[in-house]
């Protein structure tokens, strides 16, 4: 079994198209999208339409949940913009998605962790910085989940870690947003340091799962220009550099 894993596209259609082209070149059995696909100041409608045309398995991220919320207090500015762009068909599609899916007896898919779509799995936010999660933290967030492979998104950080049980936990990174800041649970910044789109391939070889974390270059300048036109210089800088200004 050879799976391509994408996540956190955030309406960045050119990045998604570059990743899809690279996936087709490498050859896989299936493609899985872990969610946070549309929210952002870029191309949410066009991205939704592209994804709806693919024979991929799609999950909901926390931003899909927020986009669907009737309470505007749950929307970020990125969610609110996406809501203004999407039509009835796209809302129906989003409503059909789940944040955690058992793909097979061996493989669990989730956006955040198996218990929450907003929990960081392989990173921990301290008051002063973000660090890689410890073995104990990974084990605790994994809980009693069965299966040899767990894939997650949400943090935008490409990382592959084995739990003390030997289970492989893989985050493919973000297709479309290589840096962001957040205030929960403490103010922090996530940066990959490069504008390249990220995804992963996981492969079962000799009865063991292995992971390949991949960075794909794409023409990010157009999306940075679009973000500026939509008065999001923070996004423009992140798209251009993989860093927060």
pLDDT digits (tens, 9 = 90+) for 2-32: 999 999 999 999 999 999 999 999 999 999 9
The structure tokens listed for 184 are 């929960």
Return the pLDDT at 119: 97
Contact, 18 vs 218, CB < 8 A?
yes
**Is residue 70 over pLDDT 90?**
no
User: May I ask the CATH architecture of the domain 2-241?
Assistant: 4-Layer Sandwich (3.60)
Going by C-alpha positions, the residue among 193, 161, 214 that lies closest to residue 4 is 214
* Helices (runs of H) and strands (runs of E) counted in the chain: 8, 14
Overall average pLDDT of the 161-173 stretch: 97
User: Considering the chain, what is the average pLDDT of its residues?
Assistant: 96
Residues present in the chain in total: 245
Percent helix, percent strand, percent coil in the chain, to nearest 5? 30, 25, 40
pLDDT digits (tens, 9 = 90+) for 185-236: 999 999 999 999 999 999 999 889 999 999 999 999 999 999 999 999 999 9
**Is residue 73 over pLDDT 80?**
no
Local confidence band at 121 (pLDDT 50, 70, 90 cut-offs): very high
* Burial zone of 234 (CB within 10 Å; 0-12 exposed, 13-18 middle, 19+ buried): middle
Overall average pLDDT of the 112-135 stretch: 97
Cα(42)–Cα(65) distance, integer angstroms: 19
Q: DSSP for 148-160?
A: SEEE--SS---EE
Overall average pLDDT of the 78-96 stretch: 96
Return the pLDDT at 245: 87
Return the pLDDT at 75: 82
> Per-residue b/e over 67-105, b at no fewer than 16 CB within 10 Å?
beeeeeeebeebbebbbebbeeebeebbeebebbbebee
């Amino acid at each position: 079994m050879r799976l391509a894993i994408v996540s956190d596209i955030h309406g960045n259609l050119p990045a998604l198209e570059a990743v899809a082209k690279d996936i087709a070149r490498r050859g896989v059995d299936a493609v899985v999208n872990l969610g946070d696909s549309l929210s952002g100041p870029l191309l949410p409608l066009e991205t939704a339409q592209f994804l709806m045309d693919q024979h991929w398995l799609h999950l909901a991220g926390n931003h899909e949940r927020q986009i669907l919320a009737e309470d505007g207090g749950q929307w970020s500015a990125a969610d609110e913009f996406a809501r203004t762009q999407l039509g009835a068909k796209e809302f129906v599609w989003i409503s059909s998605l789940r944040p955690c899916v058992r793909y097979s007896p061996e493989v669990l898919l989730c956006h955040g962790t198996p218990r929450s779509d907003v929990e960081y799995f392989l990173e921990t936010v301290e008051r002063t910085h973000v660090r890689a999660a410890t073995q104990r933290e990974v084990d605790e967030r994994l809980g009693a989940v069965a299966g040899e492979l767990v894939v997650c998104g949400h943090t935008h950080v490409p990382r592959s870690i084995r739990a003390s049980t030997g289970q492989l936990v893989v985050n493919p990174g973000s297709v479309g947003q290589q840096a962001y800041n957040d205030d929960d649970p403490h103010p922090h910044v996530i940066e990959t340091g490069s504008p390249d789109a990220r995804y992963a391939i996981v492969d079962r070889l000799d009865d063991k799962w292995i992971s390949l974390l991949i960075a794909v270059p794409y023409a990010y300048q157009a999306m940075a220009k679009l973000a500026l036109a939509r008065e999001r210089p923070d996004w423009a800088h992140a798209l251009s550099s993989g860093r927060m200004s």
